[in-house]
């Protein structure tokens, strides 16, 4: 097993070593939250004889696995850096810092307080595989506002580090108690694109799975992946990185799950309108092999 590389040298999904590499920029908001970096302008007063004058930003690399197609940022943030990036996620300070660098973000904020409309379609896709009132564990589910079957469940447990207030009917659960329950559905939506070590993240969910349990993983099916299906030449096209540090292909998800002893049951590709933009999500349904 590949160790936790803080500068990736192996694929985060299949552990392959063949990576295409291309220079990129870490967006200023993320660089500030993670590293404390601010963009700077190099002027004549710096007295740097051998460097050109102009704006300087935090540099990074885009990497694409040549085996499974996963596209990702080379930086793999530590737990402490991830905590700094997501500390008080979307509170007033977070929003103010982000708006300073990204003024249009002010139009996005209201939509995070609403349940995503496309979840009705996700539930309809999942329902044939589940009992009428499933026992659900939402891993990384925030408040539970976007948990599948929020209004129709036997049990809704949320495991999330944010500590935010939960929606009515949801219960918070810590990892040491998860294995004591029998869940019909374990879901993790819109999380894996953010984390440094997705293999480790999914591995931590395994104690929640029984032979009859289903695991639903949902990630953005990013436009760059959709617009160049099957391409292994995407690294030069990805010039900047923000909070989504991993772009997944279906092949990458299958390889990641296969390494963990999981088999794919079905794959969903669903166009979505989330209020401020249109895109597509990829949902992968799996179970213990």
Tens digits of per-residue pLDDT, 126-148? 999 999 999 999 999 989 999 99
Both structure tokens of 106: 């002010």
The pLDDT assigned to 204 comes to 95
Greater confidence (276 vs 29) lies with 29
pLDDT category of residue 1 using cuts at 50, 70 and 90: low
The pLDDT assigned to 87 comes to 82
Percentage of the chain lying above the pLDDT 70 cut: 98
Do residues 263 and 286 make contact, with C-beta atoms less than 8 angstroms apart?
yes
Cα separation, 260 vs 265, in Å, equals: 15
- Residue carrying the six token digits 């690399």: 61
pLDDT digits (tens, 9 = 90+) for 51-79: 999 999 999 999 999 999 999 999 999 99
Query: Is the model's pLDDT at 161 over the cut of 80?
Result: no
Query: Is the model's pLDDT at 30 over the cut of 70?
Result: yes
150 closest CA partner among 180, 165, 171: 171
Query: Is the model's pLDDT at 110 over the cut of 90?
Result: no
The pLDDT assigned to 141 comes to 93
H helical segments located in the chain: 28-35, 79-86, 92-101, 119-126, 175-178, 198-205, 223-227, 250-259
Query: Is the model's pLDDT at 112 over the cut of 80?
Result: no
Q: What is the mean predicted confidence (pLDDT) over 93-111?
A: 90
pLDDT category of residue 107 using cuts at 50, 70 and 90: confident
The pLDDT assigned to 59 comes to 98
Whole-model pTM over 0.85 = yes
- Residue carrying the six token digits 């580090």: 161
What's the mean per-residue pLDDT of the chain?
A: 94
Q: What is the mean predicted confidence (pLDDT) over 269-287?
A: 90
Cα separation, 101 vs 273, in Å, equals: 25
pLDDT category of residue 119 using cuts at 50, 70 and 90: very high
Q: Of the ranges 103-117, 164-178, 233-247, which one carries the lowest mean pLDDT score?
A: 103-117
Cα separation, 62 vs 68, in Å, equals: 15
pLDDT category of residue 114 using cuts at 50, 70 and 90: confident
Query: Is the model's pLDDT at 237 over the cut of 90?
Result: yes
Q: Of the ranges 42-46, 104-108, 200-204, which one carries the lowest mean pLDDT score?
A: 104-108
The pLDDT assigned to 277 comes to 76
Greater confidence (175 vs 225) lies with 225
What are the strands, taking DSSP E only, across the chain?
A: 19-26, 40-42, 54-56, 59-65, 71-73, 135-139, 155-159, 171-172, 185-189, 214-220, 240-241, 246-247, 262-273, 278-288
Cα separation, 193 vs 94, in Å, equals: 19
pLDDT digits (tens, 9 = 90+) for 12-28: 999 999 999 999 999 99
């Amino acid at each position: 097993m590949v160790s936790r590389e803080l500068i990736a040298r192996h694929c985060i999904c299949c552990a392959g070593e063949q990576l295409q590499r291309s220079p990129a920029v870490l967006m200023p908001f993320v660089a500030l939250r993670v590293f404390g970096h601010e963009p700077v302008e190099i002027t004549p007063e710096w007295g740097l004889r051998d460097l050109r004058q102009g704006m300087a930003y935090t540099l990074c690399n885009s990497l694409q696995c040549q085996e499974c197609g996963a596209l990702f940022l080379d930086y793999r943030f530590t737990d402490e850096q991830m905590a700094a990036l997501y500390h008080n996620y979307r509170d007033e300070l977070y929003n103010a810092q982000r708006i300073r660098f990204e003024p249009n973000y002010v139009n996005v904020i209201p939509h995070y307080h609403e349940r995503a409309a496309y979840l009705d379609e996700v539930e309809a896709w999942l329902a044939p595989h589940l009992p009428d009132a499933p026992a659900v564990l939402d891993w990384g589910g925030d408040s539970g506002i976007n948990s599948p079957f929020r209004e129709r469940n036997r049990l809704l447990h949320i495991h999330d580090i944010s500590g935010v207030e939960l929606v009515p009917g949801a219960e918070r659960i810590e990892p040491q108690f998860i294995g004591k329950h029998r869940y019909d559905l374990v879901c993790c939506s819109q999380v894996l694109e953010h984390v440094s070590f997705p293999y480790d993240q999914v591995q931590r969910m395994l104690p929640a799975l029984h032979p009859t349990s289903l695991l639903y993983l949902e990630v953005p099916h990013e436009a760059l992946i959709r617009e160049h299906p099957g391409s292994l030449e995407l690294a030069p096209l990805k010039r900047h990185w923000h909070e989504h540090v991993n772009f997944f292909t279906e092949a990458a998800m299958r390889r990641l799950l296969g390494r963990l002893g999981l088999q794919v049951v079905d794959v969903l590709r669903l166009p979505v309108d989330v209020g401020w933009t249109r895109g597509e999500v990829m949902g992968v349904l799996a179970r213990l092999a």
